[in-house]
């Protein structure tokens, strides 16, 4: 009898979310993959590492006097590559055998979070300029 595998987010989805949003978003997708296959210890390790990578990105991007968004993308590529090309093969050696989860739900959540953060930044800067 063949065992039915749990659907997971693909390596490409994890890389894409890491590049365009942050390693934290990619890390959450990989975290969900690991939780769905009952690897809780590994899931928390990956989540912790993705938080550290995101904090490093914030520090690196803000080092120059004029922060450049290209640095954020480079850090996203680095973080996403670590998650996608080190952790995914480590915990899912036969990743291609797993059915793929649709990315719509995390994408909508990411867009809403990003919209809220951008709105907060816009309103906070306009509030500062008012006084």
pLDDT of the residue at 127: 67
CA distances from 117 to 79, 101, 113 (A): 21, 26, 6
At residue 91, what are phi and psi to the nearest 5 degrees?
-95, -20
Residue 77 covered by a domain:
yes
Residue 125 covered by a domain:
no
Residue 114 covered by a domain:
no
Give the percent of the chain with pLDDT over 90: 70
- What total of structural domains would you count in the chain? 1
Residue 63 covered by a domain:
yes
Q: With 70 as the cut, is the pLDDT of residue 13 above it?
A: yes
Residue 106 covered by a domain:
no
Residue 6 covered by a domain:
no
Work out the average pLDDT over 57-75. Answer: 85
Q: With 70 as the cut, is the pLDDT of residue 38 above it?
A: yes
Domain that residue 21 falls in? 11-101
Full 3-state SS string of 66-90: CCCHHHHHHHHHHHHHHHHHHHHHH
């Amino acid at each position: 009898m063949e065992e039915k595998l749990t659907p997971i987010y693909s390596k490409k989805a994890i890389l894409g979310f890491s590049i365009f949003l942050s390693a934290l978003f990619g890390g959450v997708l990989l975290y969900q993959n690991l939780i769905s296959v009952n690897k809780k210890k590994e899931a928390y390790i990956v989540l912790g590492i993705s938080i550290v990578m995101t904090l490093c990105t914030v520090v690196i991007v803000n080092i120059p006097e004029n922060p450049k968004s290209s640095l954020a993308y480079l850090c996203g590529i680095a973080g996403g590559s670590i998650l996608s090309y080190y952790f995914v093969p480590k915990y899912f050696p036969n990743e291609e055998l797993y059915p793929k989860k649709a990315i719509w739900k995390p994408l909508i959540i990411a867009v809403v979070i990003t919209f809220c953060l951008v709105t907060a930044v816009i309103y906070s800067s306009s509030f500062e300029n008012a006084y």
